[in-house]
Amino acid sequence: MKRVHIHISVDDLEKNKIFYTAVFGHEPTKEKDDYIQWLLDDPAVNFAISSGREKHGLNHLGIQVDSEEAVVEVEKRLEDAGILGEKQDEAACCYAKSKKYWVQDPQDIIWENYHTMEEIELFGGDEFTGGVGACEPSFTKNGKWSTGCC
């Protein structure tokens, strides 16, 4: 199954948890002190909110796929269309290790195409290895991702 991924940065995690639980009609799938996630089948969405960011609102969008091969397929389609991004074979962010391919759309919205390999007990920090450009989405004028976390 493919799921659309939406990540929103919020200022009040608990208030937003109440709101989105009511919107989706489901309790969160994952809850941490700074991160809450709903993995839903109807609609097929991986919806996440996180706190601790300077900018609130849309953080990034994405497509979550079922296999590493599917990430490679997405990457190939994008590259065939002349859309280059950043590949990360073992990104550790948002409490998961994932294979990712990041791109930026014409409106400067960051898109994360990824397959989660395993859950971890780390949002970011010293062990962080990936997710550049997502927590504070930014693509520099020279075509390089800024640093960030998931």
> Cis before residue 43, ω within 30 degrees of 0?
yes
In whole numbers, what is the pLDDT of the chain averaged over residues? 81
* pLDDT confidence of residue 40: 96
What are the chain's domains?
3-119 (3.10.180.10)
Give the integer Cα–Cα distance in Å for 39 and 6. Answer: 11
pLDDT in tens, 117-129: 777 787 764 333 3
**Weakest-pLDDT range from 32-36, 42-46, 91-95:** 91-95
Average pLDDT over residues 17-24: 92
Nearest to 123 by CA among 33, 56, 8, 54: 33
Burial class (CB in 10 A: 0-12, 13-18, 19+), 115: buried
pLDDT greater than 60 at residue 144: no
Does 141 have pLDDT greater than 80? no
